[in-house]
C-alpha cells in the first residue's frame, strides 16, 4: 500500500465518520463543528487527487462561508445557542432505504479494475480557460440561479415595514 | 463563435432577464403598484413569445427571427459536443412555458394594487420562465440540471413570497427540502454518467452507448450507466411528480398562494417532462447498453428494461393520482392529485418513444398548461369572491356566477377528456399512438382510458356540487375582502391593504380576461386542432431523428 | 503525479450519498436537513472530481469539464444553503420554531 493510498484511506474514514457524527450528536453547535471538519477533510482529498484549486475553493466556500452561515442560522433561530436537540428515532424504513441504496450504488465498485491508476493533473490556467470559454455557459446559468436566490432571499428575510 | 452571435440566439431569454431586472429596478425606485410591475412582466412575456414564434418560422413574424432560417432542426456536426441545441420541439415547449407564465402574470394583475411583494412575485416569475426556456434548449446534462435549478430556486421562493402566511411558508420549506434532495440525486446520477462517458453531452449519452460497452477501447462500465440513469429517474421524477415521489406536490400546491399554484402546476412542472424527453428518449430508442447482472443473468439490454420501468411508473402514477383525487374534500388538493395523474399520461409518451407518442405527450403538456393553470386561476378567483377551500363550499356557484362556473366546468371537462375540448384531442393522439405501437403498450392505452373514465367521477362530482346542489343555508357568507387572509392565500394577500372592490363583481378585468382566453383556447383547439397538431408532429419527428 | 485506486473513491462517495439520503429522510431539524443536503452535494462534487482525475477511456473524455462542473456545483450548493436559510429565518419569525415535524398545518 502506497503512502497516497494510506492517506486516502484515513481521509475517507474521517469523512464518513464526521458525516455520521454531524447527524447524530445531540448538540447542534457540535454538529457544525463536525461538518466543518468534514469540509476540511474533503478539501484534503481534493489536494490528494491533484485538484488543488478545488481544494482551496472547498476551504473558502464550504469550510469558511457555509459553516459560518449555518452557525449564523443557529444563532438567530435560538434563544440559547447551546441547547440539546431531541433526536428523532432512527426509523427502520429510512435506514433500510439508505443501506439498500448504498449496496445498490456500491455494485458499481465491482466494475472497476483494482489496479492503480495515475491521476491526471490539470493546471489552473487550463481550468480557468475551460471554465470561462468552453463551459462558460455553466457559469452564466449559475449567475441566473444566484440572481433569483438573491432577490427572493433578501425579500424574504427583510423585516416588512407594515 | 463570438459572444454577440451566441447572445442573439438567446434573444427571448435575454428579454426575460431584462424584464426581471427592470421589475426589480422599478421596485427599488418605489413604483410598487401591481399594475406597473405586472404590465412590465406581461409585455416582456408577450415580446419573448413573439420572438419564439419568429424562430419557429411563423409567417407574419418570421422576419424577427434571431435564429436564421434553416438553423433550427439541423443536426450537430459529427463529433461536436454542444452544450445547447435549438430544436423546433424545444421551441414549441418554450411557447408552452411562456403561455403558462403569461396566463399567471396576466391574471395576477387583478390582485390588490398595493400588495406587498408584487415586484418580487413578477421578477421571480420572469426568472423561472427564463430557466424553463433554457431547459427546452439544453443538449448537455449539466446545462439541463443547472437550468432546472434556475427554475427551482425562484419557485421555492415564489411559494414563500407571502411572508406572513404560515401555511405557504411551510409549503415552501417542504418544497425546498424535496427539491434539494432531487437536485442531489440528479447531480450524483449525472456524475456517474460523466464517469462512464467522459462527457455529459446528451447526444453522446444517447447514441454513444457503445462506448460504455467498451467498444472504444475503454474497460466499459455498463453498471455505472445503469445506476446513473436510475438516480436520474429518481431525481427528475420528483420534479414531474411521479408516484413514489409525489407526496410533496399536494401539500405544496395546497399551501402555496393560489396564483403560484397555477404557475407550479401549469408551468414549472412541465420542465420535468422535457427533461425526461432529453435524457431518456435516447436510451429508450437506442438501447445499446447491455449489462450483466451479478447472478449471471443477461446480458440484458437496457432500453427495453427502461421502457418497462417507465411504463409501470406511468400507469402507477395515473392510477394512484386519480384514486386519491377521488377522495379529496379540498378543491386545491383535488386539483393537485389530478395534476399528478396527468403527469402519468404524459410519461406514456416517453415510455413508447415513437414520434406520434411524443406528439401526444407534447399536446398533453399544451392542453395541461391551459386546463390546469386555468383551473387554479378560477380557484384563486373564487377565493377572492369568498368561496371557501372545500369542494362543498362551491355549492350553487352555478346560479350565483354563471360565467365563471361555465368556464370552470369547461376546464374540468377538458381535464376529463370530453370530446370537443383540447383535452380530448391530446388524449386521443396519445392513446392512439400507444395502440399503434403494439405490444404491451396497448395496455398503457387501456390503463389510460380506464383512468380517464375514473377521473370523470370526481370532476363530475364537482360539477354536480356547482350546478345541482342548492346554495348552502348562508353559512355566514364571509366578507369578500380581508375576512380570511390566511385561508384565501394570495387572493386576499397577507400583507394586503383595503382596496376598492374589483371590477366585474370582484373578479377584476385581468383575471376575467385570462379565464376567457383559457376557455376560448380549450374550445377552439378542441374543435380545430390541425394548426397546432401538424407542426408539432413534424417537430416530434425531427426530435426523434436527432437522436437525443 | 500520484497514483491511486479508483475503487475507494466510488465507495466513499456512495457512502456519503447514503448518509445524506438517510439524514434528509429522518432528521427533523431544518439545520440538520441543510447539512444532509450539503453532504450529498459534496458527494456529487467528489464524484465529478475523481472521474476527471481517472479517465475511464472514452474518447470524448474531457477532464476539465469535470473540474468546471465541480466548481459550478460548489457555487450551486452554497446558493441552496442561502435560500434554505432565508426560508428558515422567515419561518422562525412566524412560528418560533425550525422543526419540520411541527410544521403540520398542511394536514387536513
Q: Which three cell numbers stand for residue C72?
A: 459550478
Q: CB distance C89–A127 less than 8 Å?
A: no
Nearest alpha-carbon partner for C33 in C23, C22, C44: C23
User: Domain spanning C7-102: which CATH class is it, in words?
Assistant: mainly alpha
CA distances to A11, A19, B180, B361, C31 from C40, rounded to whole Å, are 17, 10, 9, 33, 14
Distance of CA B165 to the CA centre of its chain: 25
Question: Are B238 and B248 a contacting pair, CB within 8 Å?
Answer: yes
pLDDT for the residue A57: 93
A101, A145, A150, A161: which to substitute to probe chain B, counting the most B Cβ within 10 Å? A145
Strand ranges inside A19-139, DSSP E: 117-118
At residue B383, does pLDDT exceed 80? yes
At residue B529, does pLDDT exceed 60? yes
- Neighbour-count burial of A15, counting CB atoms closer than 10 A to its CB (0-12 exposed, 13-18 middle, 19+ buried): buried
Q: What is the spatial distance between Cα B48 and Cα B40, in angstroms, rounded to a whole number?
A: 12
At residue A162, does pLDDT exceed 60? no
Q: What is the spatial distance between Cα A20 and Cα A22, in angstroms, rounded to a whole number?
A: 5
Higher pLDDT, B536 or B499: B536
Run of H or E residues at B169: helix B166-197
Torsions phi, psi for B493 (to 5 deg): 80, 125
- Tell me the pLDDT of chain A averaged across its residues: 83
DSSP letters for B432-485: HHHHHT-TTHHHHHHHHHHHHHHHHHHHHHHHHHHHTSPPPS------TTTS-H
C4 three-state secondary structure: strand
Count of CB atoms within 10 A of residue A4's CB?
A: 16
| Interface confidence (ipTM) of the complex | 0.93
In chain C, % of residues over pLDDT 70: 81
Band of the pLDDT at B395, cuts 50, 70, 90?
A: confident
At residue A121, does pLDDT exceed 80? no
Q: What is the spatial distance between Cα B18 and Cα B127, in angstroms, rounded to a whole number?
A: 10
pLDDT for the residue A33: 92
Domain that holds residue B150: 3-76+83-472+479-546
In the DSSP assignment, the letter for residue C29 is B
Residue range C59-75: average pLDDT? 89
DSSP letters for B314-326: HHHHHHHHHHHHH
Q: What is the spatial distance between Cα A15 and Cα C19, in angstroms, rounded to a whole number?
A: 11
In chain B, % of residues over pLDDT 70: 86
Q: pLDDT, tens digit, for every residue of C15-57?
A: 999 999 888 888 878 888 999 999 999 999 999 998 888 776 6
pLDDT for the residue B288: 53
pTM of this structure: 0.91
At residue B272, does pLDDT exceed 70? yes
Question: Looking at the domain that runs over A1-84, which CATH code has it been given?
Answer: 1.20.120.1200
Q: pLDDT, tens digit, for every residue of B119-140?
A: 899 999 999 999 999 999 999 9
Q: CB distance C53–A156 less than 8 Å?
A: no
Q: Is the dihedral of CA B268, B273, B276, B282 positive or negative?
A: negative
Nearest alpha-carbon partner for C40 in C92, C1, C76, C4: C76
Q: What is the spatial distance between Cα B504 and Cα B367, in angstroms, rounded to a whole number?
A: 27
Q: pLDDT, tens digit, for every residue of B343-365?
A: 999 999 888 888 899 999 999 99
Band of the pLDDT at A149, cuts 50, 70, 90?
A: very high
Chain A partners within 8 Å of C12 (Cβ): 12, 15-16
B290-297 contacts, C-beta under 8 A, 24 or more apart: B290/B213, B290/B222, B291/B222, B291/B223, B291/B225, B291/B226, B292/B222, B294/A107, B294/A110
Residue range A105-123: average pLDDT? 68
Weakest mean pLDDT among A37-41, B392-396, B518-522: B392-396
Residue range B536-545: average pLDDT? 88
At residue B442, does pLDDT exceed 70? yes
Chain B partners within 8 Å of A162 (Cβ): 495
Q: pLDDT, tens digit, for every residue of B56-77?
A: 888 777 777 777 766 777 787 7
Minimal Cα distance from C61: which residue of B? B198
pLDDT for the residue A67: 93
Nearest alpha-carbon partner for C70 in C38, C47, C94: C47
CA distances to A130, B92, B264 from C22, rounded to whole Å, are 36, 40, 28
Q: Give yes or no for C103 touching A (CB within 8 A).
A: no
Residue range B9-30: average pLDDT? 92
pLDDT for the residue B486: 38
pLDDT for the residue B495: 40
Q: pLDDT, tens digit, for every residue of B235-262?
A: 999 999 998 888 889 999 998 988 999 9
pLDDT for the residue B157: 94
- Neighbour-count burial of B149, counting CB atoms closer than 10 A to its CB (0-12 exposed, 13-18 middle, 19+ buried): buried
- Neighbour-count burial of B420, counting CB atoms closer than 10 A to its CB (0-12 exposed, 13-18 middle, 19+ buried): middle
Band of the pLDDT at B166, cuts 50, 70, 90?
A: confident
Q: How many CB pairs under 8 A join A and B?
A: 88
Q: Give yes or no for C44 touching B (CB within 8 A).
A: yes
Band of the pLDDT at B496, cuts 50, 70, 90?
A: very low
Q: What is the spatial distance between Cα B496 and Cα B482, in angstroms, rounded to a whole number?
A: 8
Task: Give the up-direction half-sphere exposure of residue B387: CA atoms within 13 A in the CB hemisphere.
Answer: 28
Q: CB distance C25–A94 less than 8 Å?
A: yes
Minimal Cα distance from C32: which residue of B? B177
Band of the pLDDT at A80, cuts 50, 70, 90?
A: low
Q: pLDDT, tens digit, for every residue of B403-438?
A: 889 999 999 999 998 888 999 999 999 999 999 988
pLDDT for the residue B394: 87
pLDDT for the residue B411: 93
Nearest alpha-carbon partner for C6 in C47, C46, C54, C41: C54
The number of folded domains in chain B is 1
Chain A partners within 8 Å of B294 (Cβ): 107, 110
Interface of B with A in 189-248 (CB under 8 A): 192, 219, 221-224, 227, 230
Run of H or E residues at B328: none
At residue A95, does pLDDT exceed 50? yes
Amino acid at each position: 500500500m502506497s503512502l497516497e493510498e494510506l492517506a486516502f484511506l484515513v481521509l475517507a474514514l474521517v469523512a464518513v465518520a464526521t458525516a455520521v457524527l454531524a447527524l447524530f450528536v445531540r448538540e447542534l453547535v457540535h454538529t457544525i463543528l463536525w461538518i466543518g471538519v468534514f469540509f476540511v477533510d474533503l478539501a484534503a482529498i481534493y489536494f490528494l487527487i491533484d485538484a488543488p484549486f478545488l481544494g482551496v475553493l472547498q476551504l473558502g466556500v464550504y469550510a469558511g462561508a457555509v459553516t459560518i452561515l449555518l452557525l449564523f442560522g443557529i444563532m438567530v433561530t435560538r434563544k440559547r445557542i447551546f441547547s440539546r436537540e431531541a433526536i428523532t428515532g432512527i426509523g427502520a424504513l429510512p435506514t433500510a432505504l439508505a443501506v439498500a441504496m448504498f449496496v445498490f450504488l456500491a455494485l458499481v465498485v465491482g466494475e472497476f479494475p483494482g489496479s492503480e491508476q495515475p491521476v491526471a493533473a490539470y493546471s489552473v490556467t487550463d481550468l480557468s480557460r475551460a471554465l470561462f470559454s468552453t463551459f462558460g455557459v455553466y457559469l452564466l446559468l449559475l449567475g441566473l440561479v444566484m440572481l433569483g436566490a438573491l432577490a427572493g432571499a433578501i425579500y424574504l428575510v427583510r423585516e416588512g415595514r407594515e | 463563435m463570438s459572444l454577440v452571435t451566441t447572445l442573439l440566439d438567446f434573444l427571448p431569454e435575454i428579454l426575460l432577464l431584462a424584464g426581471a431586472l427592470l421589475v426589480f429596478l422599478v421596485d427599488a425606485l418605489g413604483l410598487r403598484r401591481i399594475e406597473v410591475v405586472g404590465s412590465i412582466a406581461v409585455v416582456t412575456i408577450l415580446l419573448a413569445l413573439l420572438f419564439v414564434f419568429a424562430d419557429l418560422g411563423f409567417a407574419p413574424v418570421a422576419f424577427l427571427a434571431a435564429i436564421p432560417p434553416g438553423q433550427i432542426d439541423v443536426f450537430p456536426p459529427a463529433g461536436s459536443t454542444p452544450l445547447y441545441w435549438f430544436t423546433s420541439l424545444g421551441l414549441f415547449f418554450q411557447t408552452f412555458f411562456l403561455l403558462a407564465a403569461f396566463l399567471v402574470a396576466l391574471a395576477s394583475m387583478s390582485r390588490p394594487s398595493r400588495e406587498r411583494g408584487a415586484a418580487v412575485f413578477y421578477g421571480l416569475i420572469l426568472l423561472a420562465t427564463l430557466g424553463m426556456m433554457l431547459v427546452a434548449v439544453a443538449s448537455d446534462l449539466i446545462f439541463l440540471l443547472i437550468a432546472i435549478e434556475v427554475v427551482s430556486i425562484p419557485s421555492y421562493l415564489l411559494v414563500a413570497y407571502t411572508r406572513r402566511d404560515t401555511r405557504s411558508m411551510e409549503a415552501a420549506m417542504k418544497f425546498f427540502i424535496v427539491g434539494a434532495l432531487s437536485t442531489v440525486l440528479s447531480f450524483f446520477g449525472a456524475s456517474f454518467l460523466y464517469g462512464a462517458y467522459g462527457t455529459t453531452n446528451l447526444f453522446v449519452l444517447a447514441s454513444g452507448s457503445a462506448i460504455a460497452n467498451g467498444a472504444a477501447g475503454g474497460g466499459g462500465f455498463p453498471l455505472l450507466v445503469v445506476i446513473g440513469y436510475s438516480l436520474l429517474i429518481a431525481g427528475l421524477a420528483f420534479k414531474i411528480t411521479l408516484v413514489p415521489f409525489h407526496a410533496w406536490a399536494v401539500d405544496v400546491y395546497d399551501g402555496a398562494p393560489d396564483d403560484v399554484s397555477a404557475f407550479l402546476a401549469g408551468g414549472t412542472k412541465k420542465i420535468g417532462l422535457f427533461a425526461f424527453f432529453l435524457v431518456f428518449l435516447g436510451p429508450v430508442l437506442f438501447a445499446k447498453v447491455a449489462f450483466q447482472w451479478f447472478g449471471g443473468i443477461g446480458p440484458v439490454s437496457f432500453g427495453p428494461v427502461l421502457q418497462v420501468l417507465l411504463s409501470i411508473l406511468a400507469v402507477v402514477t395515473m392510477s394512484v393520482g386519480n384514486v386519491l383525487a377521488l377522495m379529496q374534500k379540498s378543491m386545491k388538493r383535488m386539483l393537485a392529485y389530478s395534476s399528478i395523474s396527468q403527469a402519468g399520461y404524459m410519461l406514456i409518451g416517453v415510455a413508447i418513444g415513437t414520434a406520434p407518442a411524443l406528439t401526444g405527450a407534447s399536446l398533453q403538456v399544451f392542453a395541461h398548461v391551459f386546463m390546469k393553470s386555468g383551473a387554479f386561476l378560477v380557484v384563486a378567483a373564487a377565493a377572492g369572491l369568498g368561496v371557501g377551500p372545500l369542494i362543498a363550499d362551491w355549492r350553487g356557484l352555478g346560479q350565483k356566477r354563471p360565467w365563471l362556473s361555465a368556464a370552470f366546468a369547461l376546464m374540468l371537462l377538458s381535464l376529463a377528456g370530453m370530446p370537443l375540448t383540447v383535452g380530448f384531442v391530446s388524449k386521443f393522439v396519445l392513446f392512439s399512438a400507444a395502440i399503434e405501437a403494439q405490444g404491451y403498450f396497448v395496455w398503457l392505452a387501456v390503463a389510460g382510458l380506464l383512468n380517464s373514465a375514473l377521473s370523470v367521477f370526481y370532476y363530475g362530482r364537482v360539477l354536480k356540487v356547482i350546478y345541482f346542489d342548492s346554495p348552502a343555508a348562508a353559512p355566514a357568507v364571509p366578507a369578500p375582502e380581508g375576512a380570511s387572509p390566511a385561508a384565501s392565500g394570495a387572493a386576499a394577500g397577507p400583507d394586503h391593504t383595503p382596496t376598492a372592490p374589483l371590477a366585474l363583481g370582484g373578479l377584476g378585468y385581468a383575471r376575467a380576461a385570462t379565464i376567457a382566453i383559457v376557455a376560448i383556447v380549450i374550445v377552439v383547439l378542441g374543435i380545430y386542432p390541425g394548426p397546432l397538431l401538424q407542426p408539432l408532429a413534424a417537430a416530434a419527428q425531427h426530435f426523434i431523428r436527432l437522436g437525443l | 503525479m500520484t497514483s491511486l485506486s479508483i475503487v475507494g473513491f466510488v465507495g466513499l462517495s456512495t457512502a456519503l450519498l447514503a448518509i445524506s439520503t438517510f439524514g434528509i429522510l429522518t432528521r427533523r431539524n431544518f439545520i440538520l436537513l441543510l447539512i444532509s443536503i450539503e453532504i450529498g452535494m459534496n458527494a456529487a462534487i467528489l464524484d465529478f472530481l475523481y472521474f476527471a482525475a481517472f479517465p475511464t477511456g472514452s474518447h470524448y473524455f474531457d477532464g476539465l469539464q469535470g473540474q468546471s462542473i465541480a466548481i459550478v456545483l460548489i457555487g450551486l450548493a452554497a446558493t441552496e444553503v442561502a435560500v434554505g436559510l432565508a426560508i428558515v429565518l422567515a419561518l422562525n419569525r412566524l412560528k418560533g420554531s425550525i422543526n419540520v415535524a411541527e410544521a403540520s398545518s398542511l394536514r387536513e
